[in-house]
Chain A
Amino acid sequence: MADDIRVKDGIDADTVAAAKALQSENYSAGFATDIETEYAPKGLNRDVIRFISEKKGEPAWMLEWRLKAYERWLTMEEPNWAMVEYEKIDYQDIYYYAAPKTGAKYESIDDVPKEILETYEKLGIPLREAEVLLGVEGSADTAADARGTTQPAGTRVAVDAVFDSVSVATTFRKELQKAGVIFMSISEALREHPELVRKYLGTVVPQSDNFFATLNSAVFSDGTFVYVPEGVRCPMELSTYFRMNAENTGQFERTLIIADKGAYVSYLEGCTAPMRDENQLHAAVVELVALEDAEIKYSTVQNWWPGDENGKGGIYNFVTKRGDCRGPRSKISWTQVETGSAVTWKYPSCILRGDDSVGEFYSIAVTNGRQMADTGTKMIHLGKNTRSRIISKGISAGRSDNTYRGLVSVHQKASKARNFTQCDSLLIGGDCGAHTVPYVENRCANAQLEHEATTTKLSEDQLFYARQRGLGEEQAVALLVNGFVRDVMQHLPMEFAVEAQKLLEVSLEGSVG
């Protein structure tokens, strides 16, 4: 975005500044770590899949599962319906596995490779926090302690750090174990709890779900596994920090979170990558399962390298995220702050299977430079009295394109289902694009579905209330729309979310619809 860009009257100056601060030239996570790395042979074939599976010491059924996915993938075509354009990906020109040669869990800070420590330091996490992050015994208990700030108990964050294709550290495992919570990399889970992984893996996002999910099923390297047992409220926030480092390498992580009956867990993922001239592929799959009365809150701060202002380099972020509200009264909530990636193709979804289950999707997507984002959600209402809420804010600047694409589908038996959708878009300058593509399918007579796409179409009652308390119309709208979003964002676990904090300043005044 040039400094002299002409901005439409009525657009909040802080918003313009906030968007500008997210331009690629300000990308602070774009350095590369020079560390000895072990690769799988370049390209994709059965042997590479066997290599990955062997590296991870997986059971035989897992290898078969991967190979089955691979056979399926060979028959599939890359989807082209999204409003994104990118050069054809050569799937044989990618490393599907890269790991630091010394990659392991560390007992002492002295054992942690200097390069990895420095990496986390540079990512804005001071060393003492990094000690926490890397799970070194005897270090400060929480990131907040390390910062010298005081936070109430319960705000501690346990972290799984994934560096290229492997998890290098997982913190607070012992303490979580005391509560019965299993929190580990999925590779470890495959060794330690194969029965749980086998029971749930692929039950939300089937192997053959879509091109990228099937690719992931074949080659996924690492990711996080969480199991919260019945009745347990996870004692701290869980988090995974994904870092892509190696050149010409794709990252294919797989996350599986299960909240058993009555359990609660809040999970945050953060991601960054070095500035490279090549495009790197990130094709992840996230599966959430919420059983009866369980709640999963999943937050993402996505800050992959977006490419430079001319569109050179950047991450292709093709991600399948889906939650299954399997039990009655369960709840899954997705919150995402999307600022990175050259191309984003991502629709975190909820299958509202259990009666009275609830799905939520809150999203702020900011695109700059030549970024293209096609993102949104799917809410599939199957159970009775299921409710969903979608709040999406898109901000486009530079020469970027930002698309909201969503599906709300109410099936015949989803009696009294309820959906509310609001999506607003804002264009900063005249060279970008903002698009809205909502699909709404209603097959149930007493369901109630509403979709709004302007700030002026707020609830008249709320507006009237705010105005009769003496607020001007604009102020009232700002309070009702932005106040709400701000509230959501403030509930994000903020340990690594510097970008999200900047976005709190964002206002949707002057939105185009």
Chain B
Amino acid sequence: MTIADASNPLSNPTIAEKKLFDRCRAMRATNSRTSAFGLFAETGLPHRRMEQWKWTDIRAALTNLETPSIDLAKQTVEVPEGACVLIFDGVAWKLPETLPEGVSAHRQSDATPLKTIEGLPLGQLTASMTGQDSSSDFVSIEISGKVDQPIFLDFASAPAETAFARLAFNILPDCSVRLIEAHSGNAAFSSTLIEFRLQSGASVDRTFVQRASTAQSVGITATAVLGEKASFVQTALGFGAKVCRVETHVRFEGAEAHAELNSAYLAGDDHHIDFTSHVTHAAPSCTTRQLTKGAVSKGGRGVFQGKFLVPRSIGQFTDADMQHQALLLEDGAEVFAKPELEIYADDVECAHGNTSGQLDEAALFYMRQRGIPAVEARALLTEAFIVEALQTAHEAVRDQMIDEARNFLRAEG
């Protein structure tokens, strides 16, 4: 399908969809852009009639696309000392003059979209909107050493209708990198795509904080393909937006690799946050540990969708555990969850657990009888509950993240 063909594939496109189609048509068509956009155009903006998006309706949220008139950027985390900072201003990546040893970056022309974004409509959209001849940069970064210095990715777009940011990381064998990301910015609709390729023995440690207003819609999409004995650790804290989808797809392609996906979400006051993940154990003896914790107050909606897929025979000896636990702090809060397993190999251990409800009354009672006022006891217990999912965060920002969580809970309490 060419972009021209895709100009109006939907019977009833929304204003936002029309704008996106027009914008893509205005760019120079290359094979990869056309194919990425064609894939996106098959469904348009994801909506609730699509199984994977039934609780997160981007199309309904984005009926129109208008540049925000006020500053919407929110506090996330501060840049730690000594970090290498890459800033995305909504159009281009600002790279520092010198990069740390073992890090090299270059702007990509219209690179072939990786296969890993199949089934990720926001990833496909972002891929088609970035790269040379488009308004947004696509930067690829190669890691060829053990990089201690944290790389700080600041997604701080200027006020705009949209902001599309794309990065690709290639981590060479036995090399490692640690990332800290602040997803804030001023675009009405921002969509980020980060693709990780971890070669054998490589490791990535990724920590990020997302915060936006209810005038914004946000997509943060990441894919990671892991070689033998590679390790991918991700820790996220999200506060949501009008709609916010954080989607992470991990695929094990080498044996004995390990992934850890930990997330905490706090949503209230018409904020919507969705953590969706998909882990494919396409290699034997890989392990996954996943913990998602959430607290939602009145008007907030938390969504968790996790899936472990263990393909036939190649996924033997998988050991995977998925836990999602959420607190509904008050009436008017909503938590929707779908912890899913799809298993085709018989010698595996896959567990999943899901709870939602209130704080443990027994623990509250215990604290109150020790003289702690109810409000404080509640705040302490909720904080302890949430913080468990932030233990793997980068130490340079972990305390800041815990503070942000605490501030939210105090404000809600």
Nearest-neighbour CB distance to chain B for A14, whole angstroms, equals 17
Nearest-neighbour CB distance to chain A for B272, whole angstroms, equals 14
B330 lies within 8 A of chain A by Cβ = yes
Query: With A433-B344, A436-B352 known to touch, is A449 a contact of B357 (CB < 8 Å)?
Result: yes
Most buried by B among A439, A447, A452, A513: A513
Residues on A with C-beta less than 8 A from B356 are 440, 442, 447, 449
A443 to B303, CA, bound (A): 12
A441 to B305, CA, bound (A): 12
CB of B351 within 8 A of CB of A440, answer: no
CB of B357 within 8 A of CB of A447, answer: yes
Most buried by A among B312, B329, B330, B353: B353
Q: Which of B1-9, B258-266, B332-340 contacts its partner?
A: B332-340
Q: Which 8 A-B pairs have the closest CB atoms?
A: A513-B350, A427-B346, A448-B357, A451-B354, A454-B351, A445-B328, A436-B341, A442-B356
CB of B355 within 8 A of CB of A451, answer: yes
Nearest-neighbour CB distance to chain B for A439, whole angstroms, equals 5
Residues on B with C-beta less than 8 A from A512 are 343, 346, 348-350
CB of A445 within 8 A of CB of B333, answer: yes
A225 to B283, CA, bound (A): 54
A275 lies within 8 A of chain B by Cβ = no
Residues on B with C-beta less than 8 A from A449 are 354-357
User: Which residue of chain B has its CB nearest to the CB of A10?
Assistant: B347
Residues on B with C-beta less than 8 A from A57 are none
User: Which residue of chain A has its CB nearest to the CB of B342?
Assistant: A435
User: Which residue of chain B has its CB nearest to the CB of A6?
Assistant: B346
Residues on A with C-beta less than 8 A from B63 are none
Could you count the A-B residue pairs with CB atoms below 8 Å apart for me: how many are there? 125
Residues on A with C-beta less than 8 A from B357 are 442, 446-450
CB of B338 within 8 A of CB of A427, answer: no
A residues 90-121 in Cβ contact with B at 8 Å:
none
A178 lies within 8 A of chain B by Cβ = no
Most buried by B among A440, A449, A451: A440
Residues on B with C-beta less than 8 A from A436 are 339-341, 352
- The 21 listed contacts between A and B (C-beta, < 8 Å) are A425-B341, A425-B343, A430-B313, A430-B344, A430-B345, A430-B346, A433-B343, A434-B343, A435-B342, A436-B339, A439-B337, A440-B356, A441-B335, A445-B331, A447-B357, A450-B353, A452-B353, A453-B339, A454-B351, A512-B348, A512-B350
CB of B358 within 8 A of CB of A428, answer: no
Nearest-neighbour CB distance to chain B for A159, whole angstroms, equals 40
CB of B335 within 8 A of CB of A456, answer: no
A81 lies within 8 A of chain B by Cβ = yes
Residues on B with C-beta less than 8 A from A454 are 349, 351-353
Residues on A with C-beta less than 8 A from B313 are 430
Nearest-neighbour CB distance to chain A for B271, whole angstroms, equals 16
CB of B342 within 8 A of CB of A457, answer: no
A394 to B338, CA, bound (A): 18
Residues of B in contact, count (CB < 8 Å)? 37
Query: With A438-B354, A442-B336 known to touch, is A513 a contact of B345 (CB < 8 Å)?
Result: no
Query: With A430-B313, A433-B343, A512-B343 known to touch, is A444 a contact of B349 (CB < 8 Å)?
Result: no
Q: Mark A411-428, 1 if CB is under 8 A from B, else 0.
A: 010000000000001011
Residues on B with C-beta less than 8 A from A437 are 338, 340
A452 to B325, CA, bound (A): 12
User: Which residue of chain B has its CB nearest to the CB of A410?
Assistant: B356
User: Which residue of chain B has its CB nearest to the CB of A433?
Assistant: B344
User: Which residue of chain A has its CB nearest to the CB of B329?
Assistant: A445
Residues on A with C-beta less than 8 A from B395 are none
CB of B349 within 8 A of CB of A513, answer: yes
User: Which residue of chain B has its CB nearest to the CB of A81?
Assistant: B51
Nearest-neighbour CB distance to chain B for A394, whole angstroms, equals 10
- Contacts A441-B336, A442-B326, A513-B341 supplied; 10 other A-B pairs, CB < 8 Å: A427-B345, A438-B338, A440-B337, A440-B338, A440-B356, A442-B328, A442-B335, A453-B341, A513-B349, A513-B352
B contact face: mostly helix, strand, loop, or mixed: strand
B residues 284-343 in Cβ contact with A at 8 Å:
312-313, 316, 320, 326, 328-343
A431 lies within 8 A of chain B by Cβ = yes
Residues on A with C-beta less than 8 A from B333 are 443, 445
Residues on A with C-beta less than 8 A from B340 are 435-438
CB of A451 within 8 A of CB of B312, answer: no
Name A's B-contacting residues (CB within 8 A). Answer: 7-8, 81, 83, 412, 425, 427-454, 456-457, 512-513
A453 to B308, CA, bound (A): 13
Residues on B with C-beta less than 8 A from A433 are 312, 342-344
A437 to B312, CA, bound (A): 18
Nearest-neighbour CB distance to chain A for B53, whole angstroms, equals 13
Task: Choose one: A412, A428, A438, A513; the contact of B351 (CB below 8 Å).
Answer: A513
Nearest-neighbour CB distance to chain B for A440, whole angstroms, equals 4
Residues on B with C-beta less than 8 A from A441 are 334-337
Residues on B with C-beta less than 8 A from A448 are 355, 357-358
Query: With A8-B347, A427-B345 known to touch, is A451 a contact of B353 (CB < 8 Å)?
Result: yes
Most buried by A among B51, B329, B337, B343: B343
Residues on B with C-beta less than 8 A from A450 are 353-355, 357
A449 to B312, CA, bound (A): 32
CB of A439 within 8 A of CB of B338, answer: yes
Query: With A442-B336, A512-B346 known to touch, is A430 a contact of B312 (CB < 8 Å)?
Result: yes
Task: Choose one: A81, A438, A513; the contact of B343 (CB below 8 Å).
Answer: A513
User: Which residue of chain A has its CB nearest to the CB of B339?
Assistant: A438
B residues 249-269 in Cβ contact with A at 8 Å:
none
Nearest-neighbour CB distance to chain B for A453, whole angstroms, equals 5
User: Which residue of chain B has its CB nearest to the CB of A403?
Assistant: B342
User: Which residue of chain B has its CB nearest to the CB of A452?
Assistant: B353
A412 to B335, CA, bound (A): 11
User: Which residue of chain B has its CB nearest to the CB of A453?
Assistant: B352
Nearest-neighbour CB distance to chain B for A69, whole angstroms, equals 24
Residues on A with C-beta less than 8 A from B312 are 430-431, 433
Residues on B with C-beta less than 8 A from A81 are 51
Nearest-neighbour CB distance to chain A for B368, whole angstroms, equals 18
A136 to B110, CA, bound (A): 81
A426 to B345, CA, bound (A): 10
Residues on B with C-beta less than 8 A from A456 are 351
Nearest-neighbour CB distance to chain A for B277, whole angstroms, equals 15
Residues on A with C-beta less than 8 A from B353 are 450-454, 457
A449 to B356, CA, bound (A): 5
CB of A457 within 8 A of CB of B358, answer: no
